Every structure is written in structure tokens, then in C-alpha cells.
Structure 1
Amino acid sequence: MAGELWLVAGLGNPGERYERTRHNAGAMVVERLAERLGVRLRKVRFLSVFAAEAKHEDVPLLLVRPGTFMNECGPPIASFARKRGVSVDRVVACHDDIDLAFGALRIKR
């Protein structure tokens, strides 16, 4: 696992209406991770995503937050992953799940 590039995508919706809501939990995770790793998400030219390169221990990361609504974020994230050579099995999507209790976490493949 060390040395392999991972893309961590934090899903949510843009705009003040959705800030700090449960629906933006994934985006908040990525923003907090960027802060803790000392990097800043920046707009990616020609794509509707904000991204930063980071490293956790020996693992290189691409932290990504789409600039689109949650139901439209797949294509921009997929384009960015292809552009950066990240395979689908190295993508982690962080998002809310209304079926889980607040604060619960589920990991699945």
C-alpha cells in the first residue's frame, strides 16, 4: 500500500445553503483532512473539482472535493482520476448515508 496513489473524494453540495449540513459530511471530511495534512484545496483547471496533493505516512493522496451538486459529481471526479492515472480501486468516496445513525461509519468495496 505504501507508495500507491489514492484519491479521496469528499462529496457534498456547493453553496451556503448546504454548508455544515449532514449532506456535506464527505466534503467536510476531505477539507479537514487537507487542513490536518497542511495542504489547501485549489480549483482544478477545466474540471469542476477542487484538489490537493498530500501524503499520509508513505501513502500519496489526492484530496478532492467536487464543485458540483452531489448527484452530478461522478463525471468530474472520474475525469480527474483518469487524468491523474488513479484506478477505480484506489478511489475512496466519503459521503453521508441517511440510513446510518449520525456518527456511524460504514466501509465497503
Structure 2
Amino acid sequence: MIVGLSNPKKKYHNTRHNIGSWYIYALSKHLNKLLREEKKFFGFTTSINIYSNNIRLFVPNIFMNINGSAVYQIAKFYNIHLNEILVVHDDLDLESGKLKLKYSYGHSGHNGLRSIINNFNNKTNFYRFRIGIGRPKDKKEISSFVLSEPIAKEIDLINISIQNAIKETYILLSNIA
């Protein structure tokens, strides 16, 4: 399963904190797939096939700090193990447009990751794409920063990193096929 962390779509879709969902929508568009709302999972989902891997795409449509409950619920329903999940999320510690792939690492203060780790009994053995959004100069502004829309230059850089993440997804999946 590939999960794009997010806050509720209507109000927060264009914010920095929803970059994980931007990735999922870009990947589904690339594959000509539409996500549909699944109320029982509190999010939007579709299935795709890459290199004979059947993959569920998922965007939670609940607040970031409880995304883990939705991820856990859909993973349990489809019998998807934590180490079979790739989580895509925004990252304050990377400049806008930077991308890093990690495996089995802590939450680094990210509430969506913290929620996933808590819901999976404090386990961290999952993949993640960290997409950089930069960091405000004043630590007191972090909440308003992640819940605001990036400027045009940042959007361009973020979209490039999302396209690179899609390419990296194919590489990652080719190694496990």
C-alpha cells in the first residue's frame, strides 16, 4: 500500500502538510486511475498494478494526528503488513523540492507518522518518502506554515520532487517484484 498523509481534503488539500496526498493524486493520474471515497476507511482509495504488484493507494480524509487509525484500518482489512507500506509525507527538515527515501525510522516530530507508529504498536518498519517543504525561521510559526499554501516557486520545486518520487516508486517496486 502507498499512503499519502493528509488533513481533510476540502479545507487543506493545497497546504504543505498535504503533500503526501499530492503525490498519490499525481501517481493515480499518471496511471489513469481515479481515487474514490471509502467512508469505512475514512479516506480515498484505488488499486493499481505495477510490475505485478497489486497496490492499494490511500489518502486519509481525517486530521493528520489521527491518520494512523485510518491506515491501520485499511491495512488490516486488506491484510497488508506494515513493512509493505510506503508512506509519503511532507518534511520540514528538507528544503522544498528535496526528496529522501527512508526505511524504519522514528516520526521526527511528524504527527501523521507518530499516529501510524502508535497504531501499529510502536513499530517503525515501513518505507517513507520525505518530500521537503522547508522550515519557517520562527519555530512558533510551524503550525501555520504547514497548514498554509506554498508559494509558486515552492510548488514548482515540490511538483518536480513528486515526479521524481513517482520514478523512484517504480525503481523501488522493481526491486521487490
TM-score, normalised on structure 2? 0.55
SS state at 1:68 partner = coil
Deviation at 1:40, TM superposition (A): 1.0
Deviation at 1:58, TM superposition (A): 2.0
Of 53, 62, 69 in structure 2, the residue corresponding to residue 59 of structure 1 is: 53
- Matched to 2:27, the amino acid is L
Cα deviation, 1:8-41, whole Å, max 9, x if unaligned, reads: 0001111444222221110000011111111111
Partner of 2:94: 100
Contact 2:44–2:58 (CA under 8 A) maintained in structure 1:
yes
The structure with the largest alpha-carbon Rg is 2
SS state at 2:99 partner = coil
1:91 matched to 2:85? The reply is yes
- Count of aligned pairs: 103
TM-score, normalised on structure 1? 0.87
Partner of 2:75: 81
Contact 2:9–2:61 (CA under 8 A) maintained in structure 1:
no
Cα deviation, 1:66-106, whole Å, max 9, x if unaligned, reads: 01011111011111011001110000110001111111112
1:25 matched to 2:19? The reply is yes
Q: Which moved more, 1:27-36 or 1:7-16?
A: 7-16
**Structure 1 unaligned residues grouped into runs of 5+:** 1-6
